[in-house]
Structure formats: structure tokens, C-alpha cells
């Protein structure tokens, strides 16, 4: 699976399956942005990704809130 020139927005990307998916997509060449409700865990996920050789970005957002969803995609 090659994801070069693709953008992936992964909600719940700071932990578990979301985090694993984010790392996999980044390793396959996608620009990856993860979202979550807690900045601390998002930062930890980004730092762990760097240790694994992947570059991801994050946005603090709660997808259960319409305003946060709009902010995320703008």
C-alpha cells in the first residue's frame, strides 16, 4: 500500500488502533494528522512516532462536538 501524496486525518489517533494506523499510513508516505481530546497524549503519540521514524502532526479536537469537527477540516 503506497500512500504518497495522500493526506490522512485519523480521529482517536493518539492511542491504540488509531495510533497504529497513523504510524502505518505515515510509513507508507501519507501526510498524517491525528486528532484527540487530550493534547498530552497527542504530543506523546507524535514523539513516539518520531522514535519510530514517522512524522505526524496533531490537532486537539473532540469529534463529538460539531464545532471541533468544522475546525478540524477547515
Residue 8, beta-bridge partner list: 32
Domains of the chain in start order, with CATH, are 7-73 (3.40.50.720)
pTM score, two decimals? 0.91
Given a contact cutoff of 8 angstroms between Cβ atoms, the answer to whether 49 and 23 are in contact is yes
Tens-digit pLDDT profile for residues 31-62: 999 999 999 999 999 999 999 999 999 999 99
Query: How many other β-carbons are positioned within 10 Å of the β-carbon of residue 22?
Result: 27
Nine cell digits for residue 30: 501519507
Given a contact cutoff of 8 angstroms between Cβ atoms, the answer to whether 14 and 40 are in contact is no
Amino acid at each position: 500500500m503506497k500512500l504518497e501524496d495522500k493526506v490522512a486525518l485519523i480521529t482517536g489517533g493518539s492511542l491504540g488502533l488509531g495510533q497504529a494506523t497513523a504510524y502505518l499510513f505515515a510509513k507508507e508516505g501519507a501526510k498524517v494528522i491525528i486528532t484527540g481530546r487530550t493534547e498530552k497524549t497527542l504530543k506523546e503519540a507524535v514523539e513516539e512516532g518520531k522514535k519510530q521514524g514517522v512524522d505526524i502532526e496533531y490537532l486537539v479536537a473532540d469529534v463529538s462536538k460539531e464545532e471541533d469537527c468544522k475546525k478540524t477540516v477547515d
